[in-house]
Structures are given as C-alpha cells and as structure tokens.
Structure 1
C-alpha cells in the first residue's frame, strides 16, 4: 500500500509540473528567502537539477555565495567572481534561487537605444499592476552592461552587506547577450527582492553578472506575468537560527542589489 501511495504522489507531482509547462499558468518556485541571504545563510540543499524540475528560467546564487546564477532555455549558468561564466553542474547547490517556466505573453522589439530605466518604464506601462510578478527576458545588442559578482565566501560567513563590500564590478561594452530577471511586488521585500532583479550573460556565454545598469542598442523584450508563488524553506540550523526580520531589511536589500 505504501509503495502504491508513493508512486501515486510522484505521478500527481509529475502531472502538475507537466500541466504548468503546457498551459502557461504562471508559477514562481523559490528556495529560501532573500532575508536569509542578507543574514549570511549561504548554504542550501537544493541542486541545479532540482531547480530545473521547477522551471526553465530564473536567477539566484550558489552555495558559499559563489557567483550569480542565471537560467534560461532550460540551462543554468554560473557567473563567477572574476566576471567569467560557465555551465553549472547538476549537483551544484543553491541557498537562494527563483525559477519559473517562462511563458511570455508580451513581446516588444526596439530598434533604437533604450536605457535600463526606459525599459523598466515600458514594462511598467505594459503590466501596470505591481501586485503580480513579471518574468522578464531581454535579448539584444547592448551599448554597455555594468555588472557585479560576489566572490566565493568561506565560513564563518559574514552578513551579505559585509561580504559584498569589496565585490568586483565589470563592464561589457558593445556586446550581445541575454538579461533574465523578475519584477517582484513591493510587498515581497525580504521574501524576495522587491522591484527589478536582473542577471546578464554574453552571447558567447563567457561573461556576465548581477546587473547594475545597461543600455540596450536594439533587441527584444519578452514579459511573462506570474500569479503564483511557492516557497521551499530550508530546515538547516543556519536558516532556523537566522534573523529574518531585521529592522533595516528594506535598506539592506536595496544596498545589496545596487
């Protein structure tokens, strides 16, 4: 009886994932909380293979805060502390990541330069409600992209604002690439990153990082609206002992995401 029950549960879970992949009904899967990352919880048990069961598009980081994570087209890349990029291994783990099956409902092409703020204004006009999530992808030629990447940390871990104090920054000029990210509602601050959170990788897949600024020369914007959020909370000692509601959480996240 127990074996049959297990198989039945696995079948239902597989059918649920299959449903969301083919109906386009948006759902975000998230492992851990941004406030945990801010507090220095840099170890998780969720693997890259696990993430791809919940989405084909997203972003996050790796255990020990070892670079930035960008995912699209069912592939996950690690954007490293030296500005380089590589394919992530299936067994690498993450302390924080956000994934979805990307189902763009809105697409717009630009044949003239657009700043990051101008593109965000376009997205805000196309999806005016801040009460749902947007998955955002930009493919194109960029005049420049400015990024940063947190270097790998070692125990005992410092809080994130201390860890990023000396983070390296990089600038990619006249480059083609992909930006993948989310616009999250303001009410999710601390759970997620409220507002825009974007990562970049070059078309050669050799460089990238967490986006600080960019100017698009020409390219295509795709937006998928997402109305469901599923959070998988860790149960390890560092998460259970973390301060997830500090007084300065909004300012801390804004500083971390600059």
Structure 2
C-alpha cells in the first residue's frame, strides 16, 4: 500500500515539475545555410513539449505537433504520423498551457488575428505559443520537398515545394511568436503550421482566413536552446539570417 502511494506521489510531483519553457533544437541561421541533418529524435523531442513545429532530416516536409502527436506533411501534400525514431534538424516545442482564450465569430485573416493577439498581449517582447482551432474559410499552405546532398541553402530549397489551397476546412493553426530581436535564432514574428482535424491536409501556413475559431495563447518567458552535438553545423560558416530571405521563405514575398 505504501509502495503504491509512493508511486502515485512521485508521478504527481513529476507532472507538477513538467518544464514550461519554449524548447528549440538548432537555429534558423543553421537551417538557412543548409544544415538539414540533426541527431534529435522525435521521441526525445516529445520530452520537451506536446505542441510545436519544425521539419525533418533532409528538409523532408513540414512538422506539426498537436496534443503530443507528431505529423509530417510531405512535398506532395501527404500527411503522415511520425515514428519516435525519426530525426529532426530544427524544431520548436512547448508543453502548452493556455494563459488566454477567446472566440472568433467573424471572418478575419490570420495576419489580422495575429495583430490583435500582439496588441492584447502583456508585451511584444516575450514569446507566445498559439493555437487557433476551428473552421477556416481558406488556408494556403506549403511543404518543402526532401533535399539531397550537397544541400542547397534554404532560400533555394524553398523553391522546390508543393503549395496547397484548402477551403472551408476544420483544423488547427499552431505555432509560435518570436520577438523580432530573436530573428535569426528563429523566425521573427509568427511562424505557424496547419493540420486538418481529419489529419489529411496541412503544411506551413502562407496565409489563411478564419471563419469561426477558438484561440488559445500561452505566454512564455523561458527559452531553452539545444544545439546539435555533431554534424553539418560544426563545419558551416553560419551568419545572420537576412530578413528579406526569411520573408521570401515564409510568405513568398
């Protein structure tokens, strides 16, 4: 009886001690320079969060993590559930805890909604994790196709992508806001991915329009960065990501 009670107390203490920091593996600067192979497995990534995004080794499509499940959207639009032994070169995740929730009952672009989120935040100089769940009038998404060595820079790799348009679709747009001062470490501003409720459609969000949705926001002041322990990042001259290149990759501008 006492042994069973000890196990229960230990489990409760472990859950209470669950870290609440935005965890990132590698950096945008490294990805921009073609460092597309990492050593972090999805199983290891799940120890740092249940919600997030990223990509896979070889820049093989887009990653979205929702409620602990990890999905890959490939360059042809296929959505796959990802095994724990798959590796990533870049990811952002968090154990999502909603600090603010509100409903959207009108048509609004995702960019317009993101501006409202920033305007009502405690500060634009902290990190946010966001989840927008509901019905979308439209979503334009993309997924980069797998690259082969010698890897091109990201600005060139991003030209080899599938672009998908979804209409009147139910799903979740999820991701992060980074203050612009952290641009280069990750994408400055919002970086969000989409997956449909039926797990058949998704990708990196280029633009979208909300019809009806629930918005949850997690405000974050703790940030944890882990760099790869070996591989391409050690032999690359990695500079600072140029905002114009990042905008082109993110939005096609």
Q: TM-score, normalised by structure 2?
A: 0.91
Q: Which moves more between the two structures, 124-133 or 69-78?
A: 124-133
Distance 1:106 1:228 in 2: 18
Using the TM superposition, give the Cα deviation of residue 187 of structure 1 relative to its aligned residue in structure 2, in angstroms: 1.1
Does 1:194 pair with 2:188?
Answer: yes
Aligned-residue CA RMSD (Å): 1.7
Q: Does structure 1 residue 253 correspond to structure 2 residue 246?
A: yes
Aligned-residue offset at 1:255: 1.7
Unaligned runs of 5+ in 2: 1-10
Tell me, in whole angstroms, the C-alpha distance in 1 between the residues paired with 2:235 and 2:161. 26
Q: CA–CA distance in 1 between the matches of 2:50 and 2:132?
A: 16
Equivalences for 1:52-91 in 2 at 5 Å?
52-91=46-85
**Distance in 2, Cα, partners of 1:180 & 1:78:** 14
Other-structure match for 1:178? 172
Give the superposition deviation at 1:244.
2.2
Tell me: CA distance 1:15–1:156, structure 2 relative to 1, closer, same or farther (3 Å).
farther
Map Cα deviations across residues 107-158 of structure 1 (whole Å, 9 max, x no partner).
0111111111221122012215121100000100010000011000111111
Is the Cα contact below 8 Å between 1:143 and 1:175 reproduced in 2?
Answer: yes
TM-score (structure 1 length as normaliser): 0.89
CA distance in 2, matches of 1:117, 1:155: 35
- Pair 1:124 & 2:124 matched: no
CA shift for structure 1 position 250: 2.1
Q: What CA distance in whole angstroms lies between the structure 1 residues aligned with 2:14 and 2:236? A: 31
Query: Does the aligned pair in 2 maintain the 1:26–1:227 contact within 8 Å?
Result: no
Of 103, 125, 136, 1:142 maps to: 136
Alpha-carbon offset, residue 242 of structure 1: 1.9
Mapped contact 1:130–1:185 kept (Cα < 8 A): yes
Q: SS at the partner of 2:144?
A: coil
- Cα distance in 1 between the residues matched to 2:129 and 2:176: 5
Question: Deviation at 1:15?
Answer: 9.7
The answer to whether the Cα contact below 8 Å between 1:30 and 1:98 also exists between their aligned partners in 2 is yes
Mapped partners of 2:143, 2:92: distance in 1: 17
Cross-structure match for 1:106: 100
Please give the alpha-carbon distance, in whole angstroms, between the structure 2 residues aligned to 1:116 and 1:50. Answer: 31
CA apart distance, 1:237 = 3.6
Structure 1 CA distance, aligned partners of 2:92 and 2:117?
20
Going from structure 1 to structure 2, the CA distance change for 1:255 and 1:59 (only over 3 Å counts) comes to: same
In the alignment of these two chains, the number of paired residues is 241
Q: State the shift of 1:252 in Å.
A: 2.0
- Structure 1 counterpart of 2:222, from 217, 228, 238: 228
